Amino acid sequence: MPDTMLAASAADAGIALVAAITTDLVGEIRDRHDLWPTATAAVGRLTTGAAMFAAALKRSERISLQIAGSGPLGNVAADAWPIAEQAVGARGYARNPRVDLPIDQRGKFDVAGALGAGSLQVTRSSDIGQPYVGVVPLHSGEVAEDLAVYLAQSEQIPSVVALGVLANPGGVVAAGGVMARALPGTDERVLADLERRAARMPPVTQLIAQGADASALLRELAGDWTLHSRRETAVRFACRCSRAKVEAVLLGLGADELLRLSRERDGTEATCEYCKARYFFTTSEVDELVARL
């Protein structure tokens, strides 16, 4: 099934929900970066979370998630933003993509061990105004729980978040997530009921592997709540890099550094961290950048 995100509200309960199928998205990120299974699970969870956070963004806004951990993965980052009226683009990467730890006692990827101790930074930015940045210590390293802790601590929004990636050396079998956030004034009894529903819910990857779509994930968590305002959005891999942005980075190095590059190298190449696109500048093109400075 194509990657899709579905947002809805249970107005009577005071809960906003969003669910996403991201199997193709995570698979493309895995292939672009040659991610090993545990790295695939970590990057896939974070990128799926970014996509779900972006469900409510305006066209000029973007959400960026970054985990700085002490584990073998190093930094893991993902961001997402609206790329069309009914489409969200997302991307992600790990500093060290070749990480695959033994399965933990629950039979799941040891993402927490791969991330280690550290912090989660969430940045909401727009074409206008200053970005909002929130930082919280990693709570468990399971990504979903850490996103829920961020919402509770930095935005005072009680929530439940479930994320999952089922991968093997051959590729990504299933990936997706579901998130429910309390609206202002939600009754404490509703929140307790939501937590019970989340605890009973089967793993997201199990449901997706069995054929569940985004609507089925919503229904699994919402139960008998009446859902309104369903809004469907496509989710796909996208990148914000361009040759012009790479030029700007090179200009930021200054004339002396560019002259050194021109003398020491037969051309200069830059690679995008997110999509692995390569941008090559000949010696004469580097000299032209120096002239611009």
Cβ-based neighbours of 91, under 8 Å, separated by 6 or more: 29, 47, 78, 79, 80, 237, 238, 239, 240, 274, 275
User: Do 24 and 156 belong to one domain?
Assistant: yes
* pLDDT reported for residue 48: 98
* pLDDT reported for residue 128: 82
User: Do 43 and 121 belong to one domain?
Assistant: yes
What is the domain range of residue 276?
243-292
> What pTM did the predictor assign?
0.94
The tokens for 41 are 């699970």
* pLDDT reported for residue 56: 86
User: Do 196 and 179 belong to one domain?
Assistant: yes
User: Do 36 and 62 belong to one domain?
Assistant: yes
User: Do 74 and 151 belong to one domain?
Assistant: yes
What is the C-alpha separation between 66 and 157, in angstroms, rounded?
Answer: 20
User: Do 9 and 48 belong to one domain?
Assistant: yes
Please give the sequence-ordered ranges of beta strands (E in DSSP) within 27-170, or none if there are none.
61-69, 75-84, 87-94, 118-126, 132-137, 159-168
User: Do 143 and 286 belong to one domain?
Assistant: no
* pLDDT reported for residue 265: 80
* pLDDT reported for residue 256: 85
CATH classification of the domain holding 76: 3.55.30.10
**DSSP states along 113-129:** HHH-SEEEEEEEEESSS
Cβ-based neighbours of 134, under 8 Å, separated by 6 or more: 121, 122, 123, 150, 154, 155
121-165 confidence digits (pLDDT tens): 999 999 888 899 999 999 999 999 999 999 999 999 999 999 999
User: Do 148 and 249 belong to one domain?
Assistant: no
CB atoms within 10 A of CB 239: 16
User: Do 175 and 253 belong to one domain?
Assistant: no
Structural domains in the chain (count): 2
CATH classification of the domain holding 288: 3.90.1280.10
User: Do 85 and 173 belong to one domain?
Assistant: yes
| pLDDT tens, residue order, the chain (293 aa) | 789 999 999 988 899 999 999 999 999 999 999 999 999 999 999 999 999 999 989 888 999 999 999 999 999 999 999 998 899 999 999 999 999 999 887 888 999 999 999 999 999 999 888 899 999 999 999 999 999 999 999 999 999 999 999 998 889 999 999 999 999 989 999 999 999 999 999 999 999 999 999 999 999 999 889 998 789 999 999 999 999 999 999 889 898 888 888 888 888 888 999 999 999 998 888 888 888 88
User: Do 100 and 171 belong to one domain?
Assistant: yes
Burial class (CB in 10 A: 0-12, 13-18, 19+), 107: exposed
* pLDDT reported for residue 260: 87
* pLDDT reported for residue 1: 73
180-218 confidence digits (pLDDT tens): 999 998 999 999 999 999 999 999 999 999 999 999 999
User: Do 256 and 183 belong to one domain?
Assistant: no
The tokens for 225 are 């709540």
